[in-house]
Structure 1
Amino acid sequence: MSNIQSRLDEILTKLRQRDFRITPQRIAILKIFLQSQDHPGIEQVYEEVKVNFPTTSLATVYKTVSLLKDIGEILEIGFTDGGKRYDGNKPYPHPHLICTQCKKISDPQVNLPDQMTTEIANASGFRIDSHQVTFFGVCPSCQKK
């Protein structure tokens, strides 16, 4: 929990330095992203925030997500169907495993993207600023069904 609190404090400091308002709703949204291992979507975050802040609008969640993306504190994961989910625990490029059946998103602990990024940059001459590597398949839970 202390890691979550220290990261929350860092993000709040970053927001204050840029003169963004710190509201209870914004803090609640931040906490949901920092505590979630599920890579939540905006609708899921909205439903969770409404429990304690029933007057919070969906627009507030969208604006906060946009702000957090802009300052590099959450990572957006896009789906081919246009849906989006967010990673607030690791807001930097890293691979994701997505189950095509239950839509669960996992973070494997591998260094492949770093090695691959270097190799691609060397072979192509590109200066790679960011990347996103996503693997699709069926998770162990769905395989057992």
Structure 2
Amino acid sequence: MSDLLERLRGRGWRMTAQRRVVAEVLAGEHVHFTADEVLARAAARLPEISRATVYNTLGELVSLGEVIEVTADGRAKRYDPNAHHPHQHLVCSGCGVIRDVHPGGDPLDRLPAAERFGFTVSDVQMTFRGLCPDCARA
């Protein structure tokens, strides 16, 4: 059972067959599927699942804070189930593949107090960009 499924069950989230299959599709490391990719994978497991159910379930998972919406370079939103483990993203500027990365140190240390303009900073989102091995060979 994935970490996401465990978290949802721990919250008492009503686990219908459709919701379960969406959560199962999102299981794993480095998962950053678009809604259409989630739909295609969910339909392969449960052919009667509807587009509306997938989109509604993704929206609910985001609202619950169990999945993060990731947008990179104006591409389609992607859904990241790694919501409870601090990480940043490495994005291929060629094909758009996204990987979770865990750079060392506290990212807040990269913003000096003089550059915070009085803000109380609560979150940092850094994105590393480059070419994946496949795009670099092309």
Structure 2 length-normalised TM: 0.82
Residues 100 and 131 of structure 1: CA distance in aligned 2, closer, same or farther (over 3 Å): same
Residues 121 and 101 of structure 1: CA distance in aligned 2, closer, same or farther (over 3 Å): same
> Structure 1 residue 23 and structure 2 residue 16: aligned?
yes
Answer whether contact 1:75 1:87 (CA < 8 A) is retained.
yes
Q: Counterpart of 1:49? A: 42
What is the distance in 2 between the residues matched to 1:52 and 1:137? 34
- Report the RMSD for the aligned CA atoms in angstroms: 2.3
What is the distance in 2 between the residues matched to 1:21 and 1:142? 41
Aligned residues: 136
> Structure 1 residue 116 and structure 2 residue 116: aligned?
no
Q: Counterpart of 1:105? A: 98
Secondary structure of 1:55's aligned partner: coil
Greater fraction helix = 1
- Write the mapping of 1:54-133 to structure 2, written as runs, cut at 5 A: 54-112=47-105, 115-120=106-111, 122-123=113-114, 124=116, 125-133=118-126
Residues 136 and 52 of structure 1: CA distance in aligned 2, closer, same or farther (over 3 Å): same
- 1:58 counterpart letter in structure 2: R
Q: Percent identity?
A: 30
Residues 121 and 54 of structure 1: CA distance in aligned 2, closer, same or farther (over 3 Å): farther
Secondary structure of 1:35's aligned partner: coil
Tell me the CA shift for residue 21 of structure 1: 3.0
Post-superposition Cα deviations, 1:5-54, rounded to whole Å, max 9, x if no partner, equal x541221221x2xxx53211101101111225341111001001111222
Task: Point out where structure 2 has 5 or more consecutive residues left out of the alignment.
Answer: none
Post-superposition Cα deviations, 1:39-87, rounded to whole Å, max 9, x if no partner, equal 1111001001111222211111111111111121111111332511111
